[in-house]
Homo-oligomer: A and B are copies of this chain.
Amino acid sequence: MSTQFDHVSVIKKSNIYFDGKCVSHNLIFPDGTKKTIGVIFPSTLTFSTEAPELMEIVGGKCRVRLQGEEKWNEYEGGQKFKVAGNARFDIETVETLDYVCHFG
């Protein structure tokens, strides 16, 4: 995976969730699509999706349980996982995560 995105617009104001456990910035690409780039600090959180998401883990380590599943899967820097639209997933961040969320 590349270490950077080029030719993008960056929204200056961040998105802060879960009392600061998750911080992200919105990126807009030349084709109009959006991604978010952010950090999740050690925690166990439940996220809800609207569009389907592809979560790219840039660094750190987490365990993820998708809605309706019992099994937790581990992911770390260089890996990715998919989440369906209108779904929830539990994520236990073991080591602070750098991530990129791709939508659609």
Q: How extensive is the interface on chain A, given as a class?
A: 20 to 34
* A37 CB → nearest B CB, Å: 6
In the complex, what distance in Å separates the CA atom of A7 from the CA atom of B27?
Answer: 11
How would residues 34 to 65 of chain A score, 1 for a CB under 8 Å from any chain B CB and 0 otherwise? 00011101000000000000000011000000
In the complex, what distance in Å separates the CA atom of A87 from the CA atom of B28?
Answer: 35
Assess the B14–A4 pair: CB atoms within 8 A: no
Give this chain's copy count: 2
Which of B13, B20, B28 sits near A59, CB closer than 8 Å? B13
Assess the A13–B7 pair: CB atoms within 8 A: no
Assess the B8–A58 pair: CB atoms within 8 A: no
Contacts A20-B96, A23-B39 given; indicate if A10 touches B13 (C-beta within 8 A).
Answer: no
Q: Which chain B residues lie closer than 8 Å to A39 at the CB level?
A: 14, 16, 23
